[in-house]
Structure 1
Amino acid sequence: MPVVILGVFVADTTYRADRAPRMGETIMGNSFALGPGGKGSNQAVACAKAGGEAHFISKLGIDPFADMALKVWGAAGVTPAVTQHEDMATGAAYIFVEEATGDNAIIICPGVAGTISAADIEARGDLIGGADVFMTQLEQPMQAAQRALEIARAGGATTILNPAPAAEIADEMLALCDYVTPNESETESITGLPVSTLDEAREAAEHLLAKDVSCAIITLGENGALYHSATESVHVPAMDAGAVVETTGAGDAFNGGFAAALAEGRAPLEAVRFGCATAAISVTRPGTAPSMPARAEIDALLAKQG
């Protein structure tokens, strides 16, 4: 069953140095890496590699970064529903990493994907309306995300909003969502409530349900995830797939795996466990899209957990 994902692709350009340069200063860096990024793109890759029929809606330029995107999607089995534009660039992100601490500072430029409009969404109405599961985030314009959720809901799709990066979200947009999947900091930003304990997470999730969200799933990093609906509240522990190498992209792995599991008819709680397994494997590898596990790996970890 098709999973349709709306989002942004950006090329991650990562620079590691002892410190950030001051304005007007040039310093030598220690290393550089170039790789695929963007939440929506990462989620589409995770979904496809987990066995989902993933379709990705976005915009690209006509440049080497667009070539990278198409190559990554082709290798993962993602079906692109993208337009390419020669007058604007594909998105990119500057990521500075301080060598000693690992702390980072990031500048994201969505490029042409920042122009995705409600009209662009209308042009993909048949694809969105025919989805079994539809998922989006907030890296593209909010109006586009809301219109896509409206079309998906009208078509009978299960709708997922991963509210990242955190932003103020209208109540009418939240009411279009079967599942909202923020992490702890995003939950705090959206609800104004602290999320430092499981009880606090439940209180924040209840706040989201009061906005007519059908179910809140708060991802809790090394503590797993909280599934909270009107009828049940279940803490799903994290799974151990090995030593943690890099947590970047773990949330995207969870969302992609969760969407794939829902599309194949798994019960919501089972789909959350599937998403947790997907994320657990992804953090044992560097990178975002390159770290997403294959379906056989996810099944093996779930079987091991019992």
Structure 2
Amino acid sequence: MSRVVVLGVFNADVAFRADRLPKMGETIHGKSFHLGPGGKGSNQAVAAARAGADTHMITRLGKDAFAEMALEIWRDAGVTPVITRHADRSTGSAFIFIEEHSGNNAIIIAPGAAASMTNADIDERAKLISEADVFVTQFEQPMGPAHHALEIAHKGRAITVLNPAPAMDMPEGMLALCDYVTPNESEAEALTGIKVVSLDDAQQAAMALVARGAGAAILTLGEKGALFHNGSETVHVPVMNAGGVADTSGAGDAFNGGLAAALARGKAPEEALRFAAATAAISVTRHGTAPSMPSEAEIQALLARS
């Protein structure tokens, strides 16, 4: 089976739905509340596993109820946990506001134990990382371990995928370790200074990321789909229609997990892009983040009719 290794964070998602965010000092009535599993790394690992990849998740957890939630969702999805647990720190958590009429979201994260990850955590798992078919990371955990893990994966056999979220400055040369970098519009703007509104903007931003060293850039563009550029070829994949939009909060993670699973099977970039787009399209028809990730059979069914 194709192997995906993800370095990242698990967060317990505390999600509120309301017509709008309250103003400072204001209290408003919400439409609903939900507590469930999330965190970009964890969501991507769940998505990759449900999409058919042998998936391993590297992180730190606390010794609390939220950690048990993480282990349960990974067990159900088929993710192998590669973790340490720490009694002196909490497991990560996230506040998610979901706008009732649109499904759009705003998020605050507190990574907890995962914020204390170091390069030593990575060195202990160097063999697993270097021998992966695909290695994926983001920026919810500290930058140092993400950079170090990309170095190990790049030197090994792994295809490297960096989802630069949340967007922040990265060390010089880090993009050169990435076979794929996968920002959304706002992250691409933060990294390149190019405001991404149109497909032309997206191509310019992708070209800028490749010029800085990335092997290829894939920009996720919401309702405009996704755009791939590798320096010589540009491919646009429109958004797929899997039904009405219920919640967009897991879409980017679904895309990255689906992309990793497809690349791990040796799919060409355009085919992997379509697989990732289908994964994301199904996820937004459901509430929640990790619980919204579709199975491989569901993804293939959507691709067959799209």
Once the two structures are TM-superposed, the CA of residue 268 in structure 1 deviates from its matched residue by: 1.2
Cα offset, 1:255, TM superposition: 0.4
Q: Which residue of 1 aligns with 2:155?
A: 154
Q: Which residue in the other structure is 2:196 paired with? A: 195
One-letter amino acid of the structure 1 residue matched with residue 129 of structure 2: I
CA distance in 1, matches of 2:104, 2:294: 26
- Equivalent residue number for residue 124 of structure 1: 125
Distance verdict in 2 for CA 1:106–1:183, change over 3 Å: closer
- Between the aligned partners of 1:237 and 1:115, the Cα distance in structure 2 is 39
TM-score (norm 1): 0.94
With normalisation by structure 2, the TM-score equals 0.94
Q: Does structure 2 retain, via aligned residues, the 8 Å contact 1:21–1:27?
A: no
Deviation at 1:242, TM superposition (A): 1.0
CA distance in 1, matches of 2:280, 2:60: 27
Give the SS at the match of 1:82. Answer: strand
Residues 191-234 of structure 1: per-residue CA shift (max 9 Å, x gap): 00111111111111110111111100011111111010122101
CA spacing shift, 1:210–1:245, aligned 2, 3 Å: same
Q: Secondary structure at the match of 1:167?
A: coil
CA distance in 2, matches of 1:292, 1:257: 9
1:135 paired residue number: 136
Match of 1:20 in 2: 22
1:285 maps onto 2:286 in alignment: yes
Alpha-carbon shift at residue 287 of structure 1 (Å): 0.7
Cα distance in 2 between the residues matched to 1:170 and 1:236: 30
After superposition, give the CA deviation of every residue in 1:9-64 in whole Å (9 maximum; x if it has no partner).
000112346763755x8776553210111000000000000001110000001110
Moved more, 121-130 or 67-76: 121-130
Aligned to 1:91, the other structure's residue is in SS state strand
Aligned to 1:225: 226
SS of equivalent residue, structure 1 residue 153: helix
Query: Any stretches of 5+ residues in structure 1 without a counterpart?
Result: none
Give the CA deviation at 1:76. Answer: 0.3
> CA 1:187/1:17 → structure 2, altered by over 3 Å: closer, same or farther?
closer
Superposed CA RMSD in Å reads 1.8
Which ranges in structure 2 are unaligned for 5 or more consecutive residues?
none
Provide the secondary structure at the position in 2 that maps to 1:42.
helix
Query: Identity percentage over the alignment?
Result: 62
| Structure 1 residues 242 and 171: alpha-carbon distance in aligned structure 2, compared to 1, 3 A threshold | same
Structure 1 residue 156: Cα displacement: 1.9
Matched, 1:241 2:242: yes
Distance between the aligned counterparts of 1:111 and 1:208, measured in 2?
31
The change in CA–CA distance for 1:115 and 1:293 in structure 2 (over 3 A counts) is same
Residue matched to 2:11: 10
Which amino acid is the alignment partner of residue 106 of structure 1?
Answer: I
String of CA shifts for 1:146-172, please: whole Å, max 9, x gaps. 000000011121000000001112231
